[in-house]
Amino acid sequence: MSEPLQPGAAPEGGIAAVVVLAAGQGTRMRSALPKVLHALGGRSMLGHVLAATEPLAARHTLVVVGAGREAVEEHLAQVAPGAQPVLQAEQRGSGHAAAVALAAVPELEGPVLLVNGDAPLLTAGTLAALVEGHRAAGSVFTVLTSEVGDPTGLGRIIRGPGGEVRAIVEERDATDEQRAVREVNAGVYVANAATLRRVLSGLATDNAQGEQYLTDALAPLADGGAPVAAVRAADPDDVLGCNDRRELAARRRTLNDRVLDELMRAGVTVVDPATTWVDVTATVAPDALLEPGVHLRGTTSVATGAVVGPDTTLVDAAVGEGATVLRSHVLGSEVGPHATVGPFSYLRPGTRLAAGAKVGAFVETKNVQVGEDSKVPHLSYVGDATIGRGANIGAATVFVNYDGVAKHHTHVGDHVRIGSDTMLVAPVTVGDGAYTAAGSVITTDVPPGAMGVARARQRNVAGWVRRRRPGTAAARAAEAAGDAGAETAADTHADASE
């Protein structure tokens, strides 16, 4: 039986805490939104970092907040309620931020992972390799590095004659020789908590920014003979940060390419990766087909054999096996197996299509259940309704669900035929097997098997065009068709009454 962990201690082979530095202003984003909350691929930058650190199963996850504190804390409560925000009231550098985080858990012992909150491409595998490298080297401080073609703006890894890590130098403080170094600091570290506390307490501010740099913690340890190490990331993209909108766009493209590559390797057909965007939170089964112009967002799932697109956006939607969604926008809805949607349909939240159902061209739905093999082929609005099996809703039908104050429900039974241009004024029920006549305004229930007719009787006023529109093309056409202007007394009376 294993010994119980002391408070704040790390699990065997793991880490005691994750510290995410997310207090900076992010002024280069030119945004009222805190930098770490800018989104890509279905998560905020901070959300991506937390997702990458989660598999490490740290006993504490500390997120240092400052600029935009309220917004960041609110976001944390939604995406990582177990994380603890720690306030850095005055932004005095990354070293100061790390010290503030450690002060929040004074009992903490063992390895601590420190990571910036603006590194959305970090992967759990890269972090696991860093932690393992730290453990294997017996190091007190280990830095994640990367070899890049253009190191401009990044801290350089300075090594000694034997290749040992000696220091991290920020570009603004580097010499010309140091700026030529292409191995750069990724801004991710693992360090022993006690050692980190000690070295952070002695950090100076004699640098270009007048701040306490976390990177300055490495040099005094190395100079004092403490074991320090570096682990190089296998993929240089993993360590890329994000400081402005251009970099955000580039990170978004890289992340999406990774997602699509994984899907295609798993058996999904992506016709045009350049125009297809899939959030990391979406799932697509093998043998699904994504046509050009597809956007899968949120918790969307697409089952085997389904065809999505072209030019389709699904948000928090579920598309069943063998279903088709063509040139449509689907929000918070379920498309059942072998159902069809589109083109140019808008499925709003609460829509559920059963197997084989059809929602056709220029149809809008909201909070509706459409039964098996039922059809809403075109040009209709269906809201707050239940439609049974095998029903057909004629063109230009409107489910009139709102009275200006409250929404009301319409129930359409099995194998019902709703005539074109019918208004179903809720609350109303059309019983199983019933019909409604085209052009009807249905305000009362239609019993099963009945025909609901609610329209005025047609009457024709002879000669009206000749009298009221003389000399027009319509009058000439009518005369050519045989309208000699004959007029009955009833016609004269009708004309006079208009």
pLDDT digits (tens, 9 = 90+) for 147-166: 988 888 888 999 988 888 89
CATH classification of the domain holding 138: 3.90.550.10
Supply the pLDDT for residue 90: 83
Does any domain span residue 146? yes
pLDDT digits (tens, 9 = 90+) for 209-220: 778 888 888 889
Supply the pLDDT for residue 211: 81
Going from the C-alpha of 89 to that of each of 93, 101, 166, the distances in angstroms are 12, 12, 32
pLDDT digits (tens, 9 = 90+) for 295-347: 999 999 999 999 999 999 999 999 999 999 999 999 999 999 999 999 999 99
pLDDT digits (tens, 9 = 90+) for 344-356: 999 999 999 999 9
**Biggest distance spanned by C-alpha atoms of the chain:** 117
The count of domains in the chain is 2
User: Among the three residues 239, 273, 303, which one is the final residue of a domain in this structure?
Assistant: 239
pLDDT digits (tens, 9 = 90+) for 182-214: 999 999 999 999 999 999 988 877 766 778 888
Does any domain span residue 345? no
496 pLDDT higher than 70: no
pLDDT digits (tens, 9 = 90+) for 247-303: 999 999 999 999 999 999 999 999 999 999 999 999 999 999 999 999 999 999 999
Does any domain span residue 338? no
| pTM for the structure as a whole | 0.89
Domain ranges, residue 468 = 464-497
Annotated active-site positions, please? 378
Q: Higher confidence at residue 102 or residue 496? A: 102
User: Among the three residues 220, 239, 258, which one is the final residue of a domain in this structure?
Assistant: 239
Does any domain span residue 477? yes
Does any domain span residue 417? no
Supply the pLDDT for residue 268: 98
Supply the pLDDT for residue 2: 29
User: Among the three residues 239, 261, 295, which one is the final residue of a domain in this structure?
Assistant: 239
6 confidence band (pLDDT: 50, 70, 90): very low
480 pLDDT higher than 80: yes
